Structure 1
Amino acid sequence: MLFGRKKGMPDIINGLEKEKVSTAWRLNLGFAVIVILSIFAVGIACFGMISNSMLSHAKVSSTELIKQTSNNIEVILTGFDEMAMTLSRDNTLAEYISMHDNIEDIQLRAENVQRIENILNNYAGERKDIANIAVVSNGGAYITSGTVRPDAHENINNIYAVKAFNESNKQSLWLNTYTLDIDSNLKNSEKVQVFSIIKGIYASSSLKSQGTLIINITEEYLYSLIADIKPSDNGKIYIIGSDGNYVLNPFERLKNGKRADLEFVEDMLGRDNNVDIEEIDGEEYLVTYNTIQHIKGTELGWIIVEITPVSEIRTSVTEAGTRLFFIGIACVVIGFILIGMATAFYNRYLNRSYSERHSIALERERLASLGQLIGGIAHNFKTPIMSIAGGLEALKDLIEEYDISIGDPQVTSEDHLEIAAEMKDWIGKIKPYCGYMSDIISTVKGQAGNMNESNNASFSVGELLKRVDILMNHELKKFSCELRLDIKVDKDTLIRGEINNLIQVLNNLISNSIESYSGNEGKIDLLIGKNDQELEIVVRDYGSGIPENVKKKLLKEMITTKGKNGTGLGLYMSHSTIKGKFGGTMKIKSEEGKGTEILISIPYIAKA
């Protein structure tokens, strides 16, 4: 029995060791499960917060994109409306239209048609955005700048555009996308999709309409505007009319003019703008829209809407969460050493993802700036174009007078010299407007390029001021703000760097000053002076100022005082540009309720 007990001791010890090992494995396994579950729980919580943050950022970005797209479309449609207004109030055109129905002689009637077509062709020209410009007399005569004309037996009043305008009892009407329904006298003529601006034709001496003006704009032109926009996260942009029909479905263009097959269309009608999560066919979508209610007083009701799958916005976070979960399991299995490696790898992934988002935000900031340029271009071009058109009309009259005088014995050589002198005088008046337009084009061409370009070029203070004036003039006038210049340096003083980068900075600072007045009129000072070897540029306003808690973070991180309307990129990137591309500094002085002063110091070269 004694030997039996001795023989059993190693078995007992081995059993205890096995139990200890088993217990250790169970503890390790339990610890591993706890770690994995903790990682999983923390991961879900963290990625849920990140996902919600990304969704909030996507809402802000989408709102800004749709707002800017709406502004661009509104500027373009305003241009068409102004063209229609100019034509519909043209006394010469009104005279030709009013007498057309009373001309019985076929030859004289044809000559009158030719005169009307010449006026329309002067406006339509070779423009690819306009399908045609047509006028309809009160007697039903249809005259167009295009090649497609109605059959002689067709009742013009039954044409969709004419019928819609007559039934509206309005002086001005926008028609959403439709297919031209003229029964052409040309075989196999193409039925194009258009949208139209229609106005009554009036002479200055009469309140009675002399006829109807129709400008048909091609759907292809509207498509090209939207197709060039590339929303992030596989977003799609549509335009829907106030009647709930597609104005533009860029993905299924045959649906243009038909009922929009989106479940939430009825909720959008009659509302100005909104951003929300909607469920479509069991999937969540971020729906952002903005409504253009009117164009210069004429009802439009276009809804610009972007639809983005929420799953696409959260894809990168979901993928990252799954990847991190398996990395956590691997770390528990192979040791805590690899946890550091996995964390470092994941940090690089997050940095790369952040960089991509950061680049997208920068590009949207640049697109927003370009949108302001479009408004400025439309405003700056209006006066010179009308002046040049007036000068050309005067030259045309002088040429006709000269042609008539040839061979007339009563016209002397002095008379010819007088006509020639008047021609030279008009040419001299037109030249400055051409130069002004050239300056605008040169400025905008440079500003539309890549703001990240950097070279060793130099530019003068005078050229900088001229371009800033061209680009900001419209916005300053729009918000009744006055830019006061105090230049204490020679305008030939040179600055080394890319001029467009500094223009972007000054434009941003001036825009911020305008916004500080919250829509009220105000004064903005732009001062340029010298201090030792540096050029000092000061932008000062007397607006709302910057709160103390925000001022501490400025230039250190992307922070905005504009709420959801701001990205926080403006001042942050301006400071980075001054520091990185010009070797300068930027300082901010601001007191809430009293205004803000921003001082930029950069090296200068010398006089040009």
Structure 2
Amino acid sequence: MKIFQKETQLGEIFLKFIDIYSESVIVFEPERYEILYMNQKAKDFLEGNPDLSTFFQEDEYLNFIKLIKDCHKVEENRVISFKRNDNKKGVLLFSLYPVAYDDYRTVCFTFKDITEKINKKEEKRRKNAQLILQDKLKSVDLVTSSISHEINNICNFMVNNLKITFQAWNDIFTIIKEYEDENGEFLIGGISSSEIDKVIPRLMISIIDGINRISDTIDDFRKYVKEGLNSETAVIDINEVVRRVVTILNHHIFIYTENFNFNFTEGLPKIKGNMQKLEQLIINLLMNALQSLPNRQRGVFISTGMTSDKVYIEINDEGVGIPKNIMPHIYEPFFSTKYSSGGSGLGLYLSKSIIEDFGGEINIQSEENRGTKVTIYLPYVLENGKF
């Protein structure tokens, strides 16, 4: 009798201890997956609803049940995502402790919400990364300034020489025509003398256009680096930003696809925000799209447009798509967007954060082996500068 009383007292003491324990505690009977006990912290966290299926995605809930039923050893410091009241993803840090008494087996599930801790850690990492990036960009700016100065000097030298050559061509062509009149049509470098007056000027103009493109690309890159050093808010033309990104990534586009198209709606209202962040966002989303392509025959298509209160940038790819079981997790912190054959950059968690900084939203539709459509909606600025 005394032994029974002592065991009863110990049991009551144990329950009181659990009730004031710093973490939420739920005790399960694992065979039937039945909740035997919850401490007050767990009740508060679950808001009195013992149905855990409402707090997890279906696949995670099934995995959780299996963990409880198969728990025969201590499992500590594991993580699982859950659905918060605001419909955003949260993260739980949990441990499982199997407790057996005679032939009766229980599993003690202890957990705490570490979402804010992870968010703060991620925010700190972002700020540190931004500081490192700023420092690197300062160095890159010095180098690119020097390189662009030299390249522009060379480009100007080539253009000036071509202008002189073009002027000389008029005299050369007169001599060619006189010779042709006396001796008949002949070939110059495989080109008929009767066509040479059209071909040579066209070649010279195309060379000048190519030199100008080199100069424009260097200028765009310098502007991109300069804007990376400037975190100030500005009024932005999204078409201009997308065009610049396409210029910067032109080499990568050629590597990944022979089918790249863009369609801009002209005259769109402007948006307000940090231009460098928007450029970096589009670069990463476009690189994700390119890297998802299984071959160069598959394409990527970019378009811009507007709704009643927002402008949008839409990136369609004919890539491998995102598997259905991954779609619910794509915005989670630290989740990799390298679905199958690529996808580098910020990750969709940080991309979504940047878009929210603009007061916008992102929508992703994807079908495995068919492709993905990413649409970014951003509120535009009215003429008086207001949204």
Greater share of helix: 1
